[in-house]
Structure 1
Amino acid sequence: MTGRLVVVSNRVPSDGPPSGGLVVALHDCLHENGGVWYGTSGQINDAPSDGFSDVAGDGYDMRTFDLTQAEHDGYYLGYANSVLWPLCHRRADLMALSTGDFETYIAVNRRLAKMMARELRPDDQVWIHDYHFLPLAACLRELGVTATIGFFHHIPFPAVHDLLALPQHHIFPQWIASFDLVGLQTQRDVAAALEMYRSLVGAEQLRDGSLQYRGRNFEIRSFPIGIDVDAFAKEAGRRDGRALLNLATDERLVIGVDRLDYSKGLDNRLSAFGQYLEAREDGDPRASLLQIAPPTREAVTAYQNIRSEMERISGKVNGLHSDLDWTPIRYIHRGIPRDTLAALYRAADVGFVTPFADGMNLVAKEYVAAQSHEDPGVLILSQFAGAAEQMTSALIVNPYDIGEMAAALRTALSMPLAERRERHEALFKVVQRDDIGHWTDSYLAAMARIAHKPLVAEAV
């Protein structure tokens, strides 16, 4: 790779050694090749400087900038997480369109672009991550930046009919076209993006598969993200997850791990588990659901609502089905260390992954990686998770159909060992083939291949 690798994400890894598959992968790339990682500091400063602060990196530079309280409220909580997040997760009805949030979102992107433009070099390869910075390439192009700029969208790409609910839908396509390479999780996401351009006058798909729009050539491709399979599998074997939970010898375990978000289908998941318990017959195994749902964006009303619903359903199910020595739903509303999660995945007979919409969902891949090859558990996976495009040997379910999910639980908990092994072997091959290293290498190889064409983007 010629030039520096320049990574941009909402936050940089500032709390000790990098952890988590994505962060570790980007850290390893920067450590090997050198470069710069830009992101917000996580600090609120009502008089931020017009420049970056340096954070110690390991073989590369980390450059951070502070947000004001108004910027945090408008850019992050407002437009990014109360407009773009629900839009991309097929919940345009939950978009909170507040006066001034868009202007703040654009202003933060322009401020970052202005600071970056002073430091970027023409041969840099800039890799921007996620919906916080959708307009950043357009802002950089306005300032004359000619470096190759890639983007990876970690969440689902919005559907065309949902985009019409976005007041800025007329400039959204130009934001995307200002990148040279747009990476999406699935072929389904690529199809949604291509449909958007097919609906626009002047957009054209060229013979080589690239797109042309308003004078810019760019590519949209699928790069399904993965995990560090070997490291996670090794971590899963270090501790006894059943002992951590003090499970009875004959007690079966179903596990769900998700941020507390309305896109994750958590309310229907708990209801489906309750329905499974209601239909349980004599001889059916006694199963517990461990649902770990750390809080996120608690200041946003929609997240407060899903928390209340989770507490209501878990209380109802436990009230109906608990026994003196058994509580069927263990609901944990806080984060659990990654090494502990790995052991809990290994202990679980069923991985219950049922989002209404998800870019990929790495919990599904972590669950498979953590399983014992000799006695593996069963993955139940939503058809709307990006992972379902690859992980076809899971039990695929419709997360809106509570009865279907309850039936899948019964099937999973009674599945013969031979079938469990066969399904797990197929799933493990997929997870191992498309691991985090493959994702990083394939994206950067595509970036290196693309010849940048300096064109001026429309003003945002």
Structure 2
Amino acid sequence: MAQDGGFDLVVVANRLPVDIELTDDGSINWKRSPGGLVTALEPVMQAADGAWVGWSGGPDFEVPPFEGDGMHLVPVTLSAEEIEKYYEGFSNDTLWPLYHDVIAPPAYHRQWWDAYRRVNQRFADAAAAQAAQGAVVWVHDYQLQLVPKMLREQRPDLRIGFFDHIPFPPLELFQQLPWRAQVLEGLLGADLIGFQRAGDASNFIRAVRRLTDRPTRGPIITMPDADGRPGRHVRAASFPISIDSAHFDELARTPEVQARAKEIRADLGDPEVVMLGVDRLDYTKGIRHRIKAYGEILQDGRIDVQGATLIQVASPSRENVGAYQELREHVEGLVGRINGEYGEIGHSAIHYLHHSYPPEEMAALYLAADVMLVTSLRDGMNLVAKEYVAARSDDRGVLVLSEFTGAADELAPGALLVNPHNIDGMKDTIVAAANMDEREQRRRMRKLRKRVLADDVTKWSDSFLGVLTAMPSRQDHV
């Protein structure tokens, strides 16, 4: 904490990095939440004695700021109505489908927008109250795109960064948003705006150029000062996020995880080929396309159901949103039909698991899988692909990766890239992956591991914060 009572680094995200509950006597119990963002920022926060502003996770859950894991945690309270309209509504039924290539149609409701704006203001107020003079504030993701401008209006002394964890859509899609100008102005309150891919940064710059009067030059947008003259500059650039790859590598090397991987294969009947999909149950992940392709491969006789199986982990997601309820019904119906047609007593064609699992079990699943299927229709990054690579210290396994993931930019040299909309092409690639010889597997996996182990999540956070803190607070010329 700085001498003026504020914090030199403040992180603002939709959720706190811990799950909290109040006990009967009014005290707070908490446990750390899983997730790459927490892993990336925890050591930075602890070193800076930083504060983290985020929603506590439940409706009308009022908790005072508290200390946890070496961080000052500042819960933001949301009402049940705000959760419905700001989070389930505008964030996940308007922005999410719009930003993911309109795979599902976005809904535009003014009441949702009003709630989004109101909640963003609450997050901005909380961050402003925690930040020391001249502090760095790092705002995260699509739920909080208005916070940078709101924060700058209150605290022009701050250095503000924003990172968009999901894709930023092409202009032709983004301009459908009725509140497109307000979202752009909200983001332009930041000094540095980070994206997963260079293409996302380009989409943002193009939207600014077309939909605002802000001058741009390459990745730099010039903002006017109070007199309308050229003032501060905003930079938009790509900073691909990663995982704590060394930790995942170590986890997968433990005797317990390696024994569990062998147990999983034994429980499956020791098939020749185990394929694995791991996703949130989300329409952007291409689960239906993947299962359809696998079913057709079995129908064509290109893979023998007795010698192969597919494990599909689909963790629950946004179960109060209608599109997700429909997706679950469709996926489970498809799995049931394929198992009914091709399954045998004691052997299922597809093992469908609608659960979330701890990291140890995930590492064991990765080790047990000969082929990892990451076939998203659109994905900001997809960290599952990187987790699979980090777990494979045996240099075995094949990664089948959608070209529409951010991970494809980094992992193309070792992965087998697919267009998940091309079912026939995806079938051919899956069969090739299942039949790949060990020598080729090792050649490809070594390339993948070299990249994933070098470009870890710490490098990502250091890179973003390094650029942000190095930027002049005010420039007269580019």
Q: TM-score under structure 1 normalisation?
A: 0.93
- Letter matched to residue 342 of structure 1: A
Question: For 1:188, what is the secondary structure of its paired residue?
Answer: helix
Question: For 1:118, what is the secondary structure of its paired residue?
Answer: helix
1:417 Cα offset (Å): 1.0
1:325 Cα offset (Å): 2.7
Match of 1:43 in 2: 58
Residue among 9, 14, 17 paired with 2:18: 14
Q: Does residue 1:164 correspond to 2:189, yes or no? A: no
Q: Does residue 1:71 correspond to 2:71, yes or no? A: no
Match of 1:389 in 2: 409
Separation in 1, partners of 2:304, 2:298: 12
1:285 Cα offset (Å): 7.4
Separation in 2, partners of 1:388, 1:41: 34
Structure 1, unmatched stretches of 5+, are: 456-460
Separation in 2, partners of 1:85, 1:276: 32
Maintained 8 Å contact 2:306/2:347: no
1:352 Cα offset (Å): 0.1
The verdict on how the C-alpha distance between 1:319 and 1:18 changes in structure 2, with shifts beyond 3 A counting, is closer
1:192 Cα offset (Å): 1.3
Q: How big is each residue's C-alpha offset from its partner over 1:178-224, in whole Å with a ceiling of 9 and x where there is no partner?
A: 110011011121221122123245333337x4222455410011111
Separation in 2, partners of 1:409, 1:370: 20
Q: Does residue 1:401 correspond to 2:422, yes or no? A: yes
Separation in 1, partners of 2:355, 2:130: 39
- Letter matched to residue 45 of structure 1: D
Cα RMSD after superposing both structures? 2.2
1:255 Cα offset (Å): 0.5
Match of 1:234 in 2: 250
Match of 1:371 in 2: 392
Q: How big is each residue's C-alpha offset from its partner over 1:158-196, in whole Å with a ceiling of 9 and x where there is no partner?
A: 211111211101222212211100110111212211221
Residue among 453, 461, 466 paired with 1:432: 453
Q: TM-score under structure 2 normalisation?
A: 0.89
Q: How big is each residue's C-alpha offset from its partner over 1:222-247, in whole Å with a ceiling of 9 and x where there is no partner?
A: 11111111211121233232413512
Bigger mean CA deviation after superposition, 126-135 or 158-167: 158-167
Match of 1:224 in 2: 240
1:451 Cα offset (Å): 2.1
Match of 1:173 in 2: 184
Match of 2:9 in 1: 5
Residue among 277, 283, 304 paired with 2:298: 277
The verdict on how the C-alpha distance between 1:69 and 1:144 changes in structure 2, with shifts beyond 3 A counting, is same
RCO (CA 8 Å, sep 6+): is it higher in 1 or 2? Answer: 1
Maintained 8 Å contact 1:256/1:352: yes
Separation in 2, partners of 1:158, 1:194: 11
Maintained 8 Å contact 2:138/2:161: yes
1:250 Cα offset (Å): 3.7
Separation in 1, partners of 2:190, 2:124: 14
Separation in 1, partners of 2:212, 2:176: 19
Match of 1:28 in 2: 43
Separation in 1, partners of 2:127, 2:467: 23
Separation in 1, partners of 2:444, 2:415: 7
Maintained 8 Å contact 2:277/2:372: yes
Structure 2, unmatched stretches of 5+, are: 20-30, 226-231
Question: For 1:66, what is the secondary structure of its paired residue?
Answer: strand
- Letter matched to residue 4 of structure 1: D
Match of 2:313 in 1: 292
Question: For 1:121, what is the secondary structure of its paired residue?
Answer: strand
1:34 Cα offset (Å): 1.1
Bigger mean CA deviation after superposition, 261-270 or 22-31: 22-31
The verdict on how the C-alpha distance between 1:74 and 1:282 changes in structure 2, with shifts beyond 3 A counting, is closer
Maintained 8 Å contact 1:297/1:303: yes
Separation in 1, partners of 2:303, 2:205: 52
Maintained 8 Å contact 2:195/2:237: yes
- Letter matched to residue 13 of structure 1: P
The verdict on how the C-alpha distance between 1:285 and 1:386 changes in structure 2, with shifts beyond 3 A counting, is farther
Separation in 2, partners of 1:37, 1:448: 18
Match of 2:221 in 1: 211
Question: Higher strand share goes to which structure?
Answer: 2
The verdict on how the C-alpha distance between 1:152 and 1:314 changes in structure 2, with shifts beyond 3 A counting, is same
Match of 1:305 in 2: 326
Question: For 2:399, what is the secondary structure of its paired residue?
Answer: strand
What is the identity percentage for the equivalent residue pairs of Structure 1 and Structure 2?
37
Maintained 8 Å contact 1:92/1:162: no
1:45 Cα offset (Å): 1.4
Maintained 8 Å contact 1:296/1:303: yes
1:420 Cα offset (Å): 0.6
- Letter matched to residue 17 of structure 2: P
The verdict on how the C-alpha distance between 1:92 and 1:326 changes in structure 2, with shifts beyond 3 A counting, is closer
The verdict on how the C-alpha distance between 1:99 and 1:199 changes in structure 2, with shifts beyond 3 A counting, is closer
Residue among 256, 260, 264 paired with 2:285: 264
Match of 1:458 in 2: none
Count residues in correspondence.
Answer: 449
